[in-house]
Chain A
Amino acid sequence: MKRSVGQILGRTGIRIPLILWTIAVLYPIFWMFLGSFKSNAEIYRNPWGIPDSFNIQNFVTAWSNYNIDISVFNSLVVTLVGACLTLILSIPTAYAIERIHFRGSKLLFTLYVSAMMIPMVLGWIPLFFLLMKLNLLDNIFGLAIVYAVSQLPFSIFVLTSFISTIPKSLEESAAMDGMSPYRVLWKIITPLSLSGIITVTIMNAIQFWNEYFMALIFLQSSENYTLALAIDYISSEAQYTNAWGTLFASLVIAIVPVIILYAIFQQRIAKGMTEGAIKG
Chain B
Amino acid sequence: MVQSKKQKYLFLAFCLVPTFIMFAIFTLYPLFSGLYYSFFDWSGASQHKEFVGLANYISLLKDAIIPDTIIHDYFLVATKVIGIMILAMFFAVALTQLKIKEAPFYRIVFFFPNIMSVVVIGILWTFIYNPNLGLINSGLEFLGLESFAKPWLGDENWALPSLVLPSIWAGIGLFLLMLMGGIANVSKSYYEAAEIDGASQWQQFWKVTLPLVWPQIKISVLYIVITTLNGSFIIVQVMTGGGPNNATHVMGSYLYQQAFVQYNFGYGATIGVMILILSLLTVLILQFFMRREKVEY
Contact = CB atoms under 8 A, between A and B. Distances in A.
A95 B15 CA distance: 8
A21 interface: yes
A258 B115 contact: yes
Contact of B230 (A29, A119, A278, A280): A119
B205 interface: no
Given A125-B37, A212-B118, A216-B237, A146 B26 contact: yes
A77 interface: no
Nearest to B126: A235
Contact of B138 (A11, A25, A48, A181): A48
Contacts of A170: none
Interface residues of B, number: 89
Nearest to A279: B219
Interface string B101-131: 0000011111111111111100111111000
Given A115-B27, A210-B118, A213-B234, A149 B22 contact: yes
A17 interface: yes
B255 A274 contact: no
Given A25-B112, A92-B15, A270-B111, A175 B174 contact: no
B90 interface: yes
Contacts of A145: 22, 26
Contact of A121 (B94, B120, B128, B272): B272
B90 A17 contact: yes
Interface string B219-259: 11011001001110110011000000000000010011001
B226 to A, nearest CB: 6
A273 B12 contact: no
Most chain B CB neighbours (cut-off 10 Å) among A14, A150, A185: A14
Contacts of A47: 133, 138
A239 B269 CA distance: 32
Most chain B CB neighbours (cut-off 10 Å) among A130, A231, A274: A274
Given A152-B19, A280-B222, A212 B117 contact: yes
Contact of B268 (A22, A29, A115, A125): A125
Given A209-B117, A231-B120, A125 B133 contact: no
B60 interface: no
Interface string A198-235: 00000000100111110011000000000010011001
A84 interface: no
B18 A122 contact: no
A126 B26 CA distance: 9
A6 B271 CA distance: 56
Interface in B1-47: 1-3, 7-8, 11-12, 14-16, 18-20, 22-23, 25-27, 29-31, 33-35, 37, 44
B29 A130 contact: yes
Interface string B262-274: 0001001100110
Contacts of B23: 112, 115, 149, 152
Given A119-B272, A228-B119, A175 B1 contact: yes
Given A32-B124, A48-B138, A254 B177 contact: no
B71 interface: no
Most chain B CB neighbours (cut-off 10 Å) among A31, A118, A121, A149: A121
Nearest to B237: A213
A95 to B, nearest CB: 6
Contacts of A1: none
Given A123-B31, A206-B115, 12 more contacts: A11-B100, A100-B12, A119-B252, A119-B276, A127-B26, A145-B26, A152-B27, A210-B117, A210-B119, A212-B118, A231-B120, A254-B119
25 contacts: A28-B124, A28-B128, A93-B16, A95-B15, A117-B226, A121-B252, A121-B275, A122-B272, A123-B31, A124-B30, A125-B265, A149-B26, A150-B27, A152-B27, A181-B3, A210-B116, A213-B256, A231-B119, A231-B123, A244-B127, A254-B120, A258-B117, A262-B112, A262-B115, A274-B177
Sort A-B residue pairs by CB-CB distance and give the 4 closest, nearest first: A122-B272, A123-B30, A210-B117, A96-B15
Interface of B: 1-3, 7-8, 11-12, 14-16, 18-20, 22-23, 25-27, 29-31, 33-35, 37, 44, 87, 90-91, 94-95, 98, 100, 106-120, 123-128, 133, 135, 138, 169, 172, 174, 177-178, 181, 219-220, 222-223, 226, 229-231, 233-234, 237-238, 252, 255-256, 259-260, 265, 268-269, 272-273, 275-276, 279, 283
Interface of A: 10-11, 14-15, 17-18, 21-22, 24-26, 28-29, 31-32, 43-44, 47-48, 89-90, 92-93, 95-96, 100, 102, 108, 112, 115, 117-130, 145-146, 148-150, 152, 171-172, 175-176, 181-182, 185, 206, 209-213, 216-217, 228, 231-232, 235, 244, 247, 251, 254-255, 258-259, 262, 266, 269-270, 273-274, 277-278, 280
